[in-house]
Structure 1
Amino acid sequence: MTLRPDLAIIADNVAQGSRVLDVGCGDGALMAALRDMHGVDARGLEIEAVNVAAAVSRGLSVIQGDADTDLADYPDASFDYAILSQTLQTTRRPDAVLDQLLRIGRRAFVSFPNFAHWRVRASLLWGGRMPVTRLLPEQWFDTPNIHHVTIDDFRALVKDRGLTVEGAWFLSGDKQTTSAAANFLAEHAVFLLKN
């Protein structure tokens, strides 16, 4: 099974036999890979019923729920990792969701599209319209993205919260790129955080 590049980075960096909560797990592709490759005890929370059904059909433990409201129901430090991939920008309160992730998990992986990527900037500058890209394929009026986060915005939030960055990976297309000028050159970011 080939994982999306950000999910492959996460899968490569989750310790064998860990307990994982994948928030916004989609169809469970990452959870299945973690279970099959690393013997991980993976649980999932997903808002879309069709994705919950797809994940459950893979034999995964996934419940339907909303990251903005349902994370409060999980006990403190009940997972080794809490994962939020391409979901942060769709939540009503990303800062509160991040706090919940790090309350529930000893560490948290967070991945998101970078709205400061040069193609996004060029689209706004030259076209005057919200961009439509491979990673941001919806028009402004039907996108689930309600917060347009950049790598520098996220770094500032992490610093303000006093969190530790244990790892950071940046993607341009489907390939990893350096952290140099990541806010301008990376289309996607993956962070591993802890309190």
Structure 2
Amino acid sequence: MTLRPDLAVIADHVAAGARVLDIGCGDGALMAALRDGRGVDARGLEIDPGNVSLAVARGLPVVQGDADTDLPGYPDQSFDYAILSQTLQTCHAPDRVLDELLRIGRRAFVSFPNFAHWRVRLSLLWGGRMPVTSLLPEQWYDTPNIHHVTIDDFRTFLARRSVVVEGAWFLSRGGVRPAAGANLLAEHAVFLLRR
């Protein structure tokens, strides 16, 4: 099974045998890859009941829950990694969710679509409308994305909160690109964080 590009980056950087909590785990694709390829003890939290069923059918320990409300019940530092992939922009309180990630996990992976990518900017500039692309396929009224974060926004947010960036990967067209000009040229970002 081929992982989504941001999940592939995360999978390549999770230590073998680690304990992982994947928040917003979808159908469990990343968890299955980590379990099968790296011997990771992966747990999942997913809001969509259909995805929970798909993940459980893969033999994965996934529970239905909401990142905005259900993370405070996890003990401090109970996982080596807390993962939030393509979910930050859908959270009602992304600042609190990030605090919980860094409390629950010794490290946290966060990936998100970059709303400052040049195609998004061009769509707004020339069309005057919210973009619909292959990576952002929903109309403005049907999107789960409620916080339109950019790479530069996220970097500033982390700096103000004194969060350490251990790694950052910027993706375009399915591949990793250089950090230079990432806010304009990267479609997605993946950050590895710690306190």
Equivalent residue for 1:159? 159
Equivalent residue for 1:26? 26
Give the superposition deviation at 1:175: 1.0
Partner Cα separation in structure 1 for residue 128 and residue 185 of structure 2: 20
Provide the TM-score with structure 2 as the length reference: 1.00
Partner Cα separation in structure 2 for residue 113 and residue 134 of structure 1: 12
Give the superposition deviation at 1:141: 0.2
Partner Cα separation in structure 2 for residue 90 and residue 37 of structure 1: 29
Provide the TM-score with structure 1 as the length reference: 1.00
**2:19 partner amino acid:** R
Aligned length: 195
Aligned-CA RMSD value: 0.3
Cα-to-partner distance string for 1:78-106 (whole Å, 9 max, x where unaligned):
00000000000000011110000000000
Helix, strand or coil at the partner of 2:70: helix
Helix, strand or coil at the partner of 1:33: helix
Partner Cα separation in structure 2 for residue 18 and residue 111 of structure 1: 19
Equivalent residue for 2:96? 96
Give the superposition deviation at 1:134: 1.2
Gaps of 5+ in 1: none
* Percent of paired sites with the same residue: 77
Partner Cα separation in structure 2 for residue 13 and residue 183 of structure 1: 22
Partner Cα separation in structure 2 for residue 181 and residue 134 of structure 1: 21
Give the superposition deviation at 1:121: 0.1
Helix, strand or coil at the partner of 1:68: coil
Equivalent residue for 2:115? 115
Question: What does 1:122-137 correspond to in 2, within 5 Å?
Answer: 122-137=122-137
Partner Cα separation in structure 1 for residue 160 and residue 50 of structure 2: 37
Give the superposition deviation at 1:45: 0.1
